[in-house]
Amino acid sequence: MTGFWENLAGIFTNANFYFAVIRVTAPILFATLGCAIAEKAGSTNMGMEGIMLVSAFTGVIASAFSGSVWVGLIAALIAGVLMGLVVAYFALKLKVDIILVGIAVNLIGTGLTGFLIYVFTGDRSTTTSLQSGMLPQLNIPGLQDIPVLGSILSGHNILTYLSYIMVAIMAFLMYKTCLGLRIRAVGENPDAAASVGVGVNKTKTIALAISGLMGGFAGAFMSMAYLSYFAKGITAGRGYIALAACAMGSANPLGSMLTSILFGFFYALSTYARTLNIPDQLVTTLPYLATLVGLVIYSIKVRQNELKKLNTKE
Amino acid sequence: MLTLSKAEKTKNTKTIRQMLDYNSLSVKSKHNLLRTAAAIGIGLSVALVLILLTAKNPGQAVKYFLAAPFMSKAYFSHLIEVIIPLLFTGSAVCIMFSANQFNLGLEGSFYLGGLIAAVSGIYLVTDVPFISPLVGILLGGIVGAIITMIPALLQYKWNANVLVSSLMMNYICLYVGLFLLFHYFKDPASSQHSYPIGDAAALTSFFKGTKIHSGIIIAALVTVFSYLLLYRTKTGYSLRATGQNPIFAKYSGLNVGALAVFSQIIGGFIGGMGGAVQMLGLYERFQWVDLTNFGWDGVTIAIFAKNNPKYLPLATLFIAYFRTGAWVMSFKAGVQIDLVSVFEGIMVLFLLAERFLAGTYKKMVFEDADRKRKEREALENNMDKEGAQA
Taking the domains of chain B in order of start, what are their residue ranges?
6-45+357-389, 71-304
Nearest to A275 by CA among A6, A5, A7: A7
User: Which amino acid belongs to residue A58?
Assistant: T
Distances from the Cα of A209 to the Cα of A8, A130, A221, A265, angstroms:
42, 29, 18, 29
Which chain A residues are within 8 Å of B296, Cβ to Cβ?
A: 103, 106-107
* Residues of chain A found within 8 Å of residue B171, distances taken between Cβ atoms: 237, 285, 288
In B, minimum Cα distance to A100 occurs at: B349
Q: For residue A115, what pLDDT is reported?
A: 93
pTM, entire model: 0.90
Q: Say yes or no to pLDDT of B1 above 60.
A: no
Crossing angle of helices A238-248 and A15-40, rounded to 10°: 70
Q: pLDDT, tens digit, for every residue of B255-269?
A: 999 999 999 999 999
Average pLDDT over residues B15-33: 67
Taking the C-alpha atoms of residue A280 and residue B337, their distance in angstroms, rounded to an integer, is 31
- Beta pairing partners, A126: A231
Q: Which residues contact A134 (CB under 8 A, 6 or more apart)?
A: A69, A157, A224, A225, A228
Structural domains of chain A ordered from first start: 2-313 (1.10.3470)
Give the SS3 label for residue B343.
Answer: helix
Distance between CA A166 and CA A253 in Å, rounded? 9
Share of residues in chain B with pLDDT > 70 (%): 93
- Helices A253-272 and A15-40 meet at what angle, rounded to 10? 140
**Pick from B158, B182, B353: which is nearest to A95 by CB?**
B353
Q: Pick the residue from chain A with its C-alpha nearest to B302.
A: A100
What's chain A's length in residues? 314
Q: How confident is the model at residue B17 (pLDDT cuts 50, 70, 90)?
A: low
What is residue B201's DSSP assignment?
Answer: G
From the CB of residue A134, how many other CB atoms can be counted at a distance below 10 Å?
16
Q: With a threshold of 0.85, tell me whether the complex ipTM lies above it.
A: yes
| DSSP state, residue A299 | H
Contacts of A100 in chain B (CB under 8 A): 299, 303, 348, 352
A35 to chain B, any CB pair closer than 8 A? The answer is no
Q: Is B46 on the interface with A (CB under 8 A)?
A: no
A310 burial type by CB count under 10 A (0-12 exposed, 13-18 middle, 19+ buried): exposed
Phi/psi of residue B255, nearest 5 degrees: -85, 85
Q: Pick the residue from chain B with its C-alpha nearest to A263.
A: B168
Q: Which of A28, A17, A22 is nearest to A256 (CA)?
A: A28
Inter-CA distances, B35 with A77, A129, B181, B245, Å = 33, 43, 46, 26
CA atoms of B268 and A54, how far apart (whole Å):
31
Is pLDDT of B8 > 80?
no
Rounded CA Rg of chain A = 20
Question: A269-283, B3-17, B345-359 — which one is most confidently predicted on average?
Answer: B345-359
| Chain length of chain B | 390
Q: Quick one: which of B234, B379, B202, B220 has its CA closest to B312?
A: B220
Phi, psi of A157 (to 5 degrees): -70, 150
- CA contacts within 13 A on the Cβ side of A243: 24
Query: What is chain B's mean pLDDT, rounded?
Result: 89
Residue A232 DSSP symbol: T
Model confidence pLDDT, tens digit, residues B58-105: 999 999 999 999 999 889 999 999 999 999 999 999 999 999 999 999
Asked if residue B202 lies in contact with residue B239, where contact means CB atoms within 8 angstroms, the answer is no
Residues 6+ apart with CB under 8 A from B273: B88, B113, B137, B138, B140, B141, B144, B218, B222
Residue A185: CB atoms within 10 A of its CB come to 20
> What mean pLDDT comes out for the span B213-219?
92
Q: Which residues of chain A does B356 touch, with a Cβ-Cβ cutoff of 8 Å?
A: 94
Cβ neighbors of B109 (< 8 A, separation 6 or more) are B92, B143, B144, B145, B147, B148, B173, B268, B271, B272, B275, B295
Min Cα–Cα distance to chain A from B7, Å: 48
Alpha helices in chain B (DSSP H): 6-54, 58-67, 73-98, 106-119, 131-158, 162-180, 215-232, 234-244, 246-251, 256-282, 294-304, 312-332, 339-352, 358-389
For the residues B334-360, what does the mean pLDDT come to? 89
Residues 6+ apart with CB under 8 A from A149: A143
CB contact under 8 A, A118 and B182: no
Task: Scan residues 44-83 of A and list those with Cβ closer than 8 Å to B.
Answer: 44, 46
- Hey, is the C-beta of B300 within 8 angstroms of any chain A C-beta? yes
**Per the CB < 8 Å rule, is A115 touching B183?**
no
B 221-240 near A (Cβ less than 8 A): none
Q: Chain A within 8 Å of B38 (Cβ-Cβ)?
A: no
Q: What is the CA radius of gyration of chain B?
A: 26
Helix, coil or strand: residue A5: helix
Q: Which residues of B touch A44 (CB under 8 A)?
A: 163
pLDDT of residue B12: 63
Q: For residue A178, how many other CB atoms are within 10 A of its CB?
A: 7
DSSP state string for B106-143: HHHHHHHHHHHHHHIIIIIS-S-TTHHHHHHHHHHHHH
In 3D space, the residue among B108, B274, B119 whose CA is nearest the CA of residue B176 turns out to be: B108
Q: What are the per-10-residue average pLDDT scores of chain A (314 residues)?
A: 75 87 95 96 95 96 94 97 96 93 95 93 86 86 80 89 96 95 93 90 96 97 93 90 90 92 89 77 87 89 86 72
Sign of CA dihedral B299, B300, B301, B305: positive
> Does B291 contact A at CB distance below 8 Å?
no
pLDDT tens readout for residues B38-52: 999 999 999 999 999
Kindly list the distances between the CA atom of residue B304 and the CA atoms of A87, B298, B317, B320, in Å, as whole numbers in the listed order: 19, 10, 11, 12
CB atoms within 10 A of CB B65: 27
Looking at per-residue pLDDT, the higher value among A29 and B19 belongs to: A29
| Other beta carbons within 10 Å of B38 | 16
* B342 in reach of chain A (CB within 8 A): yes
Of B278, B35, B286, nearest to B137 by C-alpha is: B278
Cβ contact B367:A126 at 8 Å: no
Considering only the C-alpha atoms of chain B, give the largest distance between any 2 of them, rounded to a whole number of Å.
96
What separation in angstroms does the CA of A113 have from each of A35, A186, B89, B123, B345?
22, 34, 25, 41, 13
**Is B258 within 8 Å of chain A by CB?**
no
Banded pLDDT at B25 (limits 50, 70, 90): low
- Residue of chain B minimizing CA distance to A104: B345
> Cα dihedral angle (B352, B353, B355, B357), rounded to 10 degrees?
-100
